[in-house]
């Protein structure tokens, strides 16, 4: 297939682009600069751009997000209007022009942030209530709804509601916990946190399975949860300390919760088997 990807230089986009490339798909990046770590076509594009034409292709995977560096929630910084304009309005333009260009499948990288604030240990299936309490979650949900409204027999839509993504993305040396681990080794106090995580390659594998099973889908629009681990920061730091031989440093306290645990049952029905704790341990063990 010919696949277009936005945000291919971002953390998640790199994992996805690498998997698509290894699977033998023709890949074209839409963005502000070409991908510099694998061979792919390129067309200049940004979320702020209003005059553009989507090239002919089979699938478009939309990972791009305009945000304050290093932040997704609170990614609007001091410019909430611009955040909405670029990410919501920019995505709607991309959706409309993708459909007009004959794209048959549009995949949107959404977030667990679309779910309601969780006040108990809820299990979040794809039909769980969506009342996001952050601007980031609200924008993601608006984009999902816009995609769903455009879907029909010729224009299929998929929303990937992804949890936190860890791992060292292809072509990079840093990862989401680089600063956290460095702060721990410096002896700084680390606050508690409890969240859900998925390894980047596992997320990309889930997407590959969705693309491979496209002919079997029953509805024009589908939502898939993408999540693997419930991870307390204390356990994460302990794993790292054991790997690096750091002794005597204070671990963060355990987080009290609660947190919602996403259930990726629809992906598992496609044969998706994320790596769980073993993959997390292997990743930590690979760090130098």
The predicted structure's pLDDT at residue 119: 74
Which parts of the chain sit beneath pLDDT 50?
none
Per residue in 230-288, pLDDT (tens digit) is 999 999 999 999 999 998 889 999 998 889 999 999 999 999 999 999 999 999 999 98
Residue 218 confidence (pLDDT): 85
pTM score, whole prediction: 0.95
pLDDT at 225: 98
Judged on CB neighbours under 10 Å (0-12, 13-18, 19+), 226 is buried
Domains along the sequence of the chain with CATH: 2-167+197-227 (3.40.50.720)
Q: What is the pLDDT of residue 248?
A: 85
pLDDT in tens, 78-87: 688 999 999 9
């Amino acid at each position: 297939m010919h696949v277009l990807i936005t945000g291919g230089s971002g953390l998640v986009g790199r994992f996805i682009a690498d998997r698509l490339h290894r699977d033998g798909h023709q890949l074209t990046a839409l963005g502000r600069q070409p991908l510099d770590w694998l061979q792919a076509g390129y067309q200049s594009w940004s979320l702020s751009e209003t005059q553009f034409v989507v090239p002919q292709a089979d699938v478009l995977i939309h990972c791009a997000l305009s945000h304050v560096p290093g932040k997704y929630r609170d990614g609007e910084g001091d410019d909430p209007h611009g955040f909405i304009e670029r990410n919501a309005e920019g995505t709607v333009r991309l959706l409309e022009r993708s459909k007009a260009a004959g794209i048959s499948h549009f995949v949107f990288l959404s977030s667990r942030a679309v779910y309601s604030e969780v006040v108990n240990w809820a299990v979040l299936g794809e039909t769980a209530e969506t009342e996001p309490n952050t601007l980031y979650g609200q924008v993601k949900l608006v984009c999902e709804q816009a995609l769903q409204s455009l879907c029909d027999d010729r224009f299929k839509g998929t929303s990937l509601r992804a949890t936190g993504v860890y791992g060292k993305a292809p072509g990079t040396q840093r990862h989401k916990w680089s600063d956290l681990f460095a702060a721990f080794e410096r002896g700084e106090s680390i606050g508690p946190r409890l969240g859900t995580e998925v390894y980047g390659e596992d997320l990309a594998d889930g997407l590959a399975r969705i693309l491979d099973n496209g002919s079997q889908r029953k509805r024009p629009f589908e939502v898939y949860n993408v999540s693997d681990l419930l991870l307390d920061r204390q356990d994460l730091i302990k794993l790292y300390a054991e790997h690096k031989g750091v002794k005597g440093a204070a671990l963060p306290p355990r987080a009290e919760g609660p947190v919602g645990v996403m259930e990726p049952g629809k992906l598992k029905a496609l044969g998706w088997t994320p790596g769980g704790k073993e993959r997390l341990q292997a990743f930590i063990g690979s760090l130098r």
